[in-house]
Amino acid sequence: MTEEPTTVAAARPTETQAPPLELMVAAGITAIPQVGAFLFGGYGHLIAILPVALALTLADIAAVVVAAMQLRADRHARRPTHWLVWITLALAAPWILYVLYIGVIALMVQIFCINQTCRGPIR
């Protein structure tokens, strides 16, 4: 007398679950550089203060790691990835790319001795 679930009922997706708390926190953390850039007039004002830039970068990298771990777990469990994972990765990308760009420029300045501090005085 028990009914077998039909293929239509078995294929119907279950209710979407709320994302894990750490993913919600990661998405909030990745929004901080974007909001700061909006309020203070761009990334340049944020990166000029080294402790702030370092803290934002480390927090963004940690948020990307959390999102990547959630993405990996979703793929391994063969379930759809929550939209918050993609939002977290998309919000973190501009800041991390900007920091890498500025870091490469600073490294090139030191390697190729572009500024006046690494050269001797010009006579």
Query: What's the confidence (pLDDT) of residue 122?
Result: 67
- Please indicate, yes or no, whether the overall pTM of this predicted structure exceeds 0.85: no
Question: Is 120 part of any domain?
Answer: no
| pLDDT for res 21 | 92
Q: Residue 95: which H helix or E strand, with range?
A: helix 83-111
Q: Does residue 91 sit within a domain?
A: yes
Q: Is residue 12 scored above 90 in pLDDT? A: no
Is 52 part of a structural domain of the chain? yes
Q: Residue 5: inside a domain, yes or no?
A: no
**Is 12 part of a structural domain of the chain?**
no
Q: State how far the alpha carbon of 43 is from the alpha carbons of 1, 24, 55, 88, 99, in Å.
A: 66, 24, 14, 18, 9
34 belongs to a structural domain: yes
Q: At which residue do the structure tokens 């690494």 appear?
A: 118
- Predicted pLDDT of residue 4: 61
Cα 23 to Cα 91: distance, rounded to the nearest angstrom: 13
Output 61 or 6, whichever has higher pLDDT: 61
17 pLDDT band (50/70/90 cuts)?
A: confident
Domain count for the chain, please give it.
Answer: 1
- The range of the structural domain enclosing residue 70 comes to 19-111
pLDDT at 8: 52
State pLDDT tens for residues 43-98. 999 999 989 999 999 999 999 999 999 999 999 999 999 999 999 999 999 999 99
Query: 2 in a domain, yes or no?
Result: no
Q: Specify the higher pLDDT residue, 58 or 8.
A: 58
Helical pair 83-111 and 50-76, crossing angle rounded to 10 deg: 140
Q: Is residue 77 part of a domain?
A: yes
